[in-house]
Copies of this chain bind each other. A is one copy, B any other.
Amino acid sequence: MTARSESAAKTKERLLDAALTLFSQQGYAATGIRDILQEAGVTQPTLYHHFADKASLLQALIERHYGESQEQLAGIVASEETISGKLSAFALTSFEYCNRDPRVPRLMFQTYFGPTVPEIDGVLDKLTEKRFRLVVRLMEDAITAGELSPSDPEFLALSFCSMVDQPLNLFSRKARPKRYLTAELAHAIVYLFLGGAK
């Protein structure tokens, strides 16, 4: 039950990895199933042995990567005390996640902002909403604790997420200098968000 199912899992992994590479580079619609097969070194019936169709590949990628990063993020943020610490942890973790494998956020942004993929619609929305709600709650707590001036928590969360995500998006899209998503940038964002530019 171990030796053969192990190699089967490896093949499945190769397929997912190839799909991640190609989807993130060219987009879902522009990537043909045959491209994936070639990249993975596998034949067509094999793919359909592991996945129902092309859309299942994308769905599997999204659920795996986004789900695990989500839990990590919530845990790390919760372990901080101050609003400044929480926001820094949020930005840092997001940056590290992108530096580890830029293909993942690139696929996420491309799928989220790019043309609708009808087969997936809603899945990604639910996950991004969850991440956004995490930040909203964070802002609410900080306001009631007196750490932030009273104002709309959703507006604050949207603004902060924008400041974090746009660099992420830009970085994952094109080849940027190695040290772009640094801890310094993360802290600068938090500092600007809390203190303003004036």
Contact = CB atoms under 8 A, between A and B. Distances in A.
Interface of A: 25-30, 109-110, 113-116, 147-149, 151-152, 155-156, 158-163, 165-167, 169, 173, 185, 188-189, 192-198
A116 B196 contact: no
A195 B192 contact: no
Question: How many of these chains are in the complex?
Answer: 2
A157 to B, nearest CB: 10
B113 A109 contact: yes
A195 to B, nearest CB: 4
Contacts of A165: 162, 166
Given A110-B115, A114-B114, A194-B196, 11 more contacts: A25-B116, A26-B116, A27-B29, A27-B114, A147-B198, A148-B197, A160-B197, A162-B162, A166-B166, A192-B193, A192-B196
